[in-house]
Structure formats: C-alpha cells, structure tokens
A and B are shown apart, each in its own frame.
Chain A
Amino acid sequence: MTQPVFSRRNALGLFGLAGLAATAGCGSSVGGGSSAGSSASGGGGAIKVGLVIPQDGVYTPLGVDMKNGWDLFLERHDGMLGGYEVETVIGDEGEGPDTGVPAIQGLIQRDNVDVLVGIVNSASALGAAEAVAAAKKVLVISNAGANAVTGDARNPYIWRASFNNAQAAFAMGEYLASQQPEGGVFLMAPDYAAGQETFVAFKASYEGGGGTIAGEALTPFGTTQDFQPFLSAIPGSGAGATFVFYSGGEAVSFVQQYAGFGLKDTVPLYGSGFLTEGSVLEAQGEAAVGIQTALHYSTEIDNPANTEFVEAYQKAYDVLPTCFAVQTWDAALVLDLALADAADLSGDAVSEALGGVGEISDSPRGAWTFDGQSPKHVEYLREVQEGDGGLINVVVEELGEYGQ
C-alpha cells in the first residue's frame, strides 16, 4: 500500500534523463569532455560537479536548501572553484539508497563528473562509498551524518563538510552533566541509525560526567504520528530534563505534543539542533519557544563570514539559511581551497588536496578543520526565541570543539 509500483520518482527520473541527455549533447558539440581538458594544475580548465540532492520525497526541503547554498557560493565566486569553471549536474537522491546510489552511479558513468557533492541520507552515503571508491571520484558529503561514513566504512574518496551524528549529542551530554538536572534526563529518539548513534554519544558523555538516565524510549521511525504513549512515561520517571533527536515532520509533531501534554513547563526540553532547524521551526510555532539545542550552526552566530552569508542568502532567497545550506556552502568552500592546490582533477589528487586544506577559516559556522575526513567544529548551545521576523535560534554559549 505504501510503496506504489509507479512512483512519482520514476516519472521525474524520466524527465531528468531527458534533461541530462540534452546537457550531454551540448557538452559533446562544444568538443572535449570536461575531465579531458583539465589536466593542468591549479586551474584554467573546467570541472564538472555532480550535485546529488533529494528532489522528491520527505527530504525535498533539505534539497532546496542545499542547492541554494551551492548556487549562492558559485554566484559569489564567478562560477569558479579553485580556478576551474564549474558545470553543475544535478542528480536526484530521492529518499533512500534505492534511488540515491543509482543517482551517483549515473552521474559518474553517464555524466562523467569529476567531483560529487551532496547526499542527505546516511544509508545512501554508505551505499555510495563503494561506487565512488571504485570510480576513484571524490564525494564531499554535505549532510549525511552517520559516524560510519567517515569512520568504520571510510575510504580515501569520501569527505564530509557537514557533521557527524555524535557531535551534537555528545556536546549536549556534557552540558547537561554540568547542569545536573534533578532526577536525571529522559532520552527519546527515532529507532534508526541516527537515533541510536545519538543515544550512544549522549550516554557516553552524560553518564561519563556523572549524570543518570531517568528513562529512555526509541520510537518507531516514520510511523509514529502520536508521541503521547511515550511522553506519558516521562512524568513518572521523575526526570528533570528531556533530551531528544528528531527532525523533519517528527520534530514538528513531537515539539507540539510535548507542549500540548503540559510537559514543556515542567520538564525542560533539550535536543540535537535539527529539532528546531529550518522550516520545522516555523511549523512548531509557539510550542518551540524556550527549547535548547546543540548544533554546529545558527543564523545568529556573530562572525563576519556568517553576517555576510546570512545577508546574501536572505537577499537571494528571502528566507533565513539553514545548517543544510551552510554545509553545502562549506562543501563548495573546501573544494575551492583544495582544487587550487590539486595537481589535477583525479580523485586521488583532489583527495590529497582536501587532506591539506588545514583550517577553513571563513566558514559561516566559524573556523573548522578536518579531523580525519569529517569536520571538527564548535558546537553551539542555542535557544529558540521570538525574533523580529519570527522564531530564531539564539546562541547562548559555545560548548567547545568536537571532532570525529
């Protein structure tokens, strides 16, 4: 019932194919593939980048933000990355690896791209790892946060400009351990990889800091509309705070129901930053005010790069940027730095150059470095407050730097 045979995605895919065929035709008529003419070191040539983002399904809003971030960077850098003129080819990641991995394979084989950027879903990222390793093309992930992507399942071609799932939870665990809420903390997260990784990371730092877990619940992922059955366990557990990891539609339902059942005023709510990030915050409305979250970005971070970024983003798209836009902006930023140094556009050369970029100083999230192949950056403690134009995540304090 839930998986129609003829999905909308297939239809979109057909249109996509037609579009790509047209693009390929143009390329060949000009003569010379992009990768062929780009052996010169340090620029002068062209580079073909495959941007793999969801254009259909539940992650579509993230895909829009990511494309905005990417486009904005190129627009402000004359369409160049590290001296190469950029041609962007978009692939539709869809919701999961069943569409995400073929999209990547298509970009590699059919479009012969030099570098790949994007990927929202961690399972797609893990599936893509093999494909990019076999083709020796660099993939710069601009969302997917599973620790394994750049941990156990790492290969030299996968780099991440976003975050890993453990960081925000670990930072919040340390913070709550220092706050010592009376009665301990109640944990809730959806029952899938990201939720489980969050649990592990939070417990490691929170219990390591002397805190006690009052109770926990893993809710069925994607099928939970009503959190009441799980929420009803919180008052009885005696918890003095609740820490959760939810995003998208679940974040909206959760935050509203948390307030609706009267818990917001009695047991303060903490979360990973995705709980109140982007369009979900608007939908949550009043119920979200006062929630504290940890994340590597907020529009309210006070540094010149962020001020400039937020202003340009708002001017271009008339909305506040999200962490997803920043992550894709940063993917472009690190490629810009790396390509300037890369000997050529081969995966090995680009990967080596990415390893040598050092500190990325002018990111909107503040300066960060690669720790292994994933970012080491500051986690910010944020609180939802009423701003001039709606709800915003105000930065309360910096929780310190966290790496892989």
Chain B
Amino acid sequence: MTEWFADNFVSILNGLAIGSLLFILAVGLSLVFGMMDVLNLGHGALYLIGAYVGFQFTGGISSWGGFLTALAVAAAFGLVAGLILSVATEPLVGRGHLDQALLTLGVALVVAEVISIIFGDDVQNVVAPPGLNESIQVFGNTYPAYRLALIGVGAVLAIVVWLVIEKSSLGALIRASVSDREMVSSVGVDNRKVKAGVFAFGSMLAALAGVLGGPVYGARTGLDETVLLLALVVIVIGGLGSVRGALIGSLVIGQVESLGRANLPEFASFMLFGALAVVLIVRPRGLFGSKVGAP
C-alpha cells in the first residue's frame, strides 16, 4: 500500500491541483444554475477572458506585479460580465433552460471570436510569478511549485465560499431565495438583486480561474469549450447548487483525470464520462444534489 502510494504520489498531488482549479471554475456555475436556475453556457468564455487577461498582463515575463494586476483586472471583468449576463437572462426567467442556453452560448461565441480577433489564434503562454515559476522536490519527486500553490489557493477559496454560503446571513438569504422565491420577495427582498449578486460572484471566480489556470493550461482558442465541459461534468457529479458538491465533484474529477489516467492509460478517453455515467446511475441527482434547481 505504501509502495503504491509512493509510486502514485505525484499523480495524487496533481489530481488535487487540477481539482482545486476546477472547483474555482465550477462553483460559480453550480451556484448560478443550482440556486438561480440559470444555465450559463458563457461560463467557459469567462474563463477564457481570464486566461487572456493573464497573458496580456504577464506578457511572457514572470512577475508578481503583472500576475496580481491580471487577477484584479480579471476579477473586475468577471463581476461586470456577471452583472450583464444576469440582466440579459432576466427576461428569460421562466422560459426554460433552452432559451438561456441559446443566449449565453451566443454570448460565449461572440466573446471567443472577439478574443481570437484581438489576440490571434496562436497558443499563448502564461508564466507563473517568480518563486512559483520553478520545480521543487516533494518527497523525492520533482513537481512544479505553481501547482502546489494552486492547491493552497483552491483550499482557501473553498473555505471562504463555504463560510459565506452556509454560515453568513448573506448566504442564508441566497439559500432562502432558492427554496422559496415568493416568500423571500414577500418579506421585502428583491430577488433580482440576489441573483445578480450570485451571478457576478460566480463569474468573477470563473475569470479568476482563467488567470490562475494560465500557467497550467495556457491561453488558446477552444479552451473555453474544454473547460465548460469539465465544469458541467463536475457540477453534474457533485450535484447542482451545492458548494460541497462542487468541491467533491472537482476533487473526484481531478483524481479521475490524473490518477485514473496514470493507472489505466488505455481508458484515458473514456474515464471522464465513465465516472459521470457511474454517478448518474447510482445517484441521478449527483453526490450532493438538492431537489431544488434540478432540471
């Protein structure tokens, strides 16, 4: 057992790193879909914006100034984009997920094309900040320092989001809006503001994930669709609208993509959707799915 662990240590660590990134990305999608009942297919495009913001401000040079600026700019972008998406989808409330999907997908396509026009279609590299831009030894294995930092960032964000949603009065308001919209508005709270707030917050996290993921995945065309697919798988596995579900879903998919592929390379292509199928058969609502918001 210990020998197996030693052999697969790097894979497990890597699964955690990927899981952390996926959590930052997927938790916003999960909250918006599960709590606000809006299917936002523009979520991947927000990630892409973040990735290119990261590229723009680091410019292939390793610096903390550039990286932190990129994070701030991406966060601002994400907040504004989330508000816009929230307003745009407002008239579609009650018209079903298909209309929302069409609208947000359209927005995503426009964003991807605009990015392609501005930055071209070459693959761009985002450099990790100094100190994290190298490999370090972890129990005798060489491992990129940046990915270790990513695990830490993911853990901190997971705790913050969980505290806000589950323990704060703001979180209570959000959860109440989900359970019974009419009741919340009858006590004098504007539903649309709650929705806009959650949307902006989730979109901000997606854009931040784009910057944070830059040194791992780079910035290139088509990345928006790839990460959107991963995020959708994560929230379906984890269950809609649950922070805990998004976290567990991300960690599971992280390990499936890392440990699973390393041990069963011949099934690498099927692994992701195999895991999805198993969860759907055993627990159709996802591991931590609530009744609310399920389509």
Q: Interface residues, chain A, CB within 8 Å of chain B?
A: 1-2, 4, 6-8, 57-58, 60-61, 191, 217-220, 223-226, 228-230, 232-233, 236, 248-249, 252-253, 256-257, 259-263, 279-280, 282-285
Contacts and interface: CB of A to CB of B under 8 A. Distances in A.
B233 to A, nearest CB: 10
A285 B261 contact: no
B218 interface: yes
Contact of B121 (A61, A224, A261, A280): A61
Contacts of A279: 122-123
B225 to A, nearest CB: 5
With a 10 A CB-CB cut-off, give which of A228, A248, A284 has the most chain B CB atoms: A228
Contacts of B14: 226, 228-229
Contact of B144 (A6, A260, A285): A260
A223 B226 contact: yes
Contacts of A4: 105, 109
Given A57-B121, A224-B268, A262-B135, 6 more contacts: A1-B225, A191-B269, A223-B269, A228-B262, A229-B268, A248-B123
A233 B225 CA distance: 29
Contacts of A220: 268-269
B222 interface: yes
A61 B120 CA distance: 8
Contacts of B221: 57-58, 60
Nearest to A60: B121
B268 A256 contact: no
Interface string B94-133: 0000000000011001001100000011111101000000
Nearest to B254: A226
Which applies to chain B's interface (DSSP): helix, strand, loop or mixed? helix
B257 interface: yes
A256 B135 CA distance: 11
Interface in B255-281: 257-262, 265, 268-269
A229 B262 contact: yes
Given A232-B10, A283-B124, A2 B225 contact: yes
A257 B120 CA distance: 24
A276 B18 CA distance: 26
B68 interface: no
B284 interface: no
B62 to A, nearest CB: 10
Report the 4 A-B pairs with minimum CB-CB distance, sorted nearest first. A262-B142, A229-B261, A229-B262, A60-B121
B216 interface: yes
A225 B217 contact: yes
Interface of B: 7-8, 10-11, 14, 18, 41, 60, 105-106, 109, 112-113, 120-125, 127, 135, 142-144, 216-218, 220-222, 225-226, 228-229, 232, 257-262, 265, 268-269
B258 A256 contact: no
Contact of B268 (A58, A219, A263): A219
A220 B221 CA distance: 18
A229 B12 CA distance: 10
A279 B124 CA distance: 9
A252 B11 contact: no
A219 B266 CA distance: 9
28 contacts: A1-B41, A1-B225, A8-B112, A57-B121, A60-B120, A61-B121, A219-B268, A223-B226, A225-B216, A226-B217, A226-B257, A226-B258, A228-B10, A228-B11, A229-B11, A229-B257, A229-B259, A230-B262, A232-B8, A232-B262, A249-B218, A249-B222, A252-B220, A253-B217, A261-B143, A261-B144, A262-B143, A284-B125
A2 B229 contact: yes
B7 A236 contact: yes
Contacts of A248: 123
B113 A252 contact: no
B105 A249 contact: no
Contact of A285 (B60, B226, B232): B60
Contacts of A57: 121, 221
B229 A283 contact: no
Given A1-B41, A253-B218, A58 B121 contact: yes
**Best-buried of A225, A236, A256 by chain B (most CB within 10 Å):** A225
Given A220-B268, A233-B262, A253-B218, A283 B123 contact: yes
A230 B258 CA distance: 9
Contact of A261 (B10, B18, B259): B10
A232 B11 contact: yes
Contacts of B105: 4
A107 to B, nearest CB: 23
A249 B265 contact: no
B18 A226 contact: yes
B269 A261 contact: no
Given A226-B18, A232-B262, A249 B123 contact: yes
A20 B143 CA distance: 53
A269 B110 CA distance: 39
A285 to B, nearest CB: 6
Nearest to A279: B122
Q: Which of B125, B228, B232 has the most CB of A within 10 A?
A: B125
A252 B258 CA distance: 19
A283 B10 contact: no
Given A228-B258, A249-B218, A252-B123, A1 B228 contact: yes
B48 to A, nearest CB: 13
A227 to B, nearest CB: 9
Contacts of A219: 268
Contacts of B265: 217-218, 229-230, 233
A301 to B, nearest CB: 24
A4 B42 CA distance: 12
Nearest to B110: A8
Nearest to B108: A4
Contacts of A229: 11, 14, 257-262, 265, 268
